[in-house]
Amino acid sequence: MNAKPPKNKDSANALWGGRFAAGPSAIMARINASIDVDRRLYKQDIAASRAHCQMLVDAAIIAAADGKAILGGLDTVEAEIDSGAFNFSAKLEDIHMNVESRLKDLIGDVAGRLHTARSRNDQVATDFRLWVRDAIDNLDAGLKDLQMALLVRADEHAETIMPGFTHLQTAQPVTFGHHLLAYAEMIDRDRGRLRDARLRLNESPLGAGALAGTSFPIDRHQTAQALGFERPAANSLDAVSDRDFAVEFLAACALTSVHLSRLAEEIVIWMSAPFRFVMLSDAFSTGSSMMPQKRNPDAAELVRGKTGRVIGDMNALLIMLKGLPLTYFKDMQEDKEPVFDAYDSLELCVAAMGGMVRDMTVQAAAMRAAAAQGFSTATDLADWLVREENVPFRDAHEIAGRAVRAAEEKNCADLSGLTLSDLQGIDARFTKGALDVLSVESSVASRTSYGGTSPTRVREQIVAFRKRLS
């Protein structure tokens, strides 16, 4: 006895073909649908469909008239989505079927010819690569803007002295400009990693079919070129199952977010009462519901907090992929949400960090006072003994340590409180010239090695950086 056809022709099984006689349960429909997530791919999906359609016409696989109707219909679908007039349906599962279904409403059965020599497997892999490529380009532009903000502030503060820290203990004086340039360097590496990921992802899966290619005489090089890919992916199995590009993107995002978090943590510390190195305006800080005196660096704290989210997105994708044999599995529907989430979080954090860097008011006097504390020029005193008296550095280190102890016993704020008599009481080789190296200004000015904190070197680094960015 033949089974009766399902009454609800709008159910998802109508899209799967004649193999399924009954529609999915409500729970199955909910867990199976991805349209709430992957509707963001509509621009890429339509772009890939245009390229595929034109190739089918050029290869004489479909008629030119059909291709013209399909391309015109795709233009209409895109315009409807752009304007917000498009009605997305969870019953149609994903962005691909939503677009195809609406295309059929517009141009009739000829819409079905678009799916010739194409599977949703190679379709989604293509769309996803296109989206990640666009995301990389957008992030790169945002990160470059942040670098420019750092360079502007570094130039302003090439001579502003602050304490350099190790273990969050005062180590040696540096300039604030030099400190900011360290983050510009980190971000440059972040941009490099994103560019590397973009190079590797720039292969087209389109035409790989479900997993084995197609018997139609398609031109995969044509579609790859039309979509801006370097080449078509060489192996059809790998083309539909590869998500390395998404993992690489998330790894680059995770490390970038860690760098932003480190700078955010510094801003939180710098704004705290014991430091007061910088202030943020009302644009990037908040008050307290109870304590009227408070100014909280909430923007920085949120940048720091979102880092865990981005790292978690990378872990989620890696864990989803780790047990999958070739080729496509429905698990891979879970690949886009962490990528979208990480991008949204990082894009916002980059913009917020750029805003904070431009907004912060630097308290130069507080930085200078802190730099002089903790006997931060002790290494300069040891270096003087090495340079002027030919004392081995290990011996000079021990002598400078005794000078620090003497300054502590005299309750000096810094080593410049010691007299020549004090120094000669520690070691007779000290001369009047040793007093000249004890100020934080002389310490900073002396650090002229390549990459050092001397204002001269900082300005050279800024000039070189600007050339790279231009």
| Token pair listed for 216 | 């139609």
CA-based radius of gyration for the chain: 31
Cis ω before 160 (30° cut-off from 0): no
Site of tokens 């296109």: 130
Identify which of 163, 211, 180, 115 has the alpha carbon closest to the alpha carbon of residue 373.
163
Strands (E), 120-253: 161-166, 169-175, 203-204, 231-232
Report the interhelical angle of 64-83 vs 42-58 (nearest 10°). Answer: 170
Site of tokens 């231009």: 470
> Residues 25, 272, 281, 288: which is the catalytic one?
288
> Residues 34, 96, 167, 397: which is the catalytic one?
167
Distance CA 456, CA 177 (A): 11
Distance CA 164, CA 378 (A): 13
* 96 in catalytic set: no
Distance CA 395, CA 439 (A): 22
Helices (H), 9-119: 13-16, 26-32, 35-38, 42-58, 64-83, 95-107
Please say whether the beta carbons of 460 and 448 come within 8 A: no
Please say whether the beta carbons of 358 and 347 come within 8 A: no
Q: C-alpha distances in angstroms, 141 versus 128, 339, 363?
A: 20, 18, 30
* 421 in catalytic set: no
Distance CA 118, CA 89 (A): 22
HSE-CB for 10 with a 13 A CA cutoff: 6
* Phi, psi torsion values for 340, nearest 5 degrees: -60, -45
In the chain the first and final C-alpha atoms are separated, in Å, by 74
What's the gap between Cα 100 and its chain centre? 33
Beta strands 231-232 and 203-204 are parallel
* Phi, psi torsion values for 41, nearest 5 degrees: -90, 10
Which residues are known to be catalytic? 167, 288
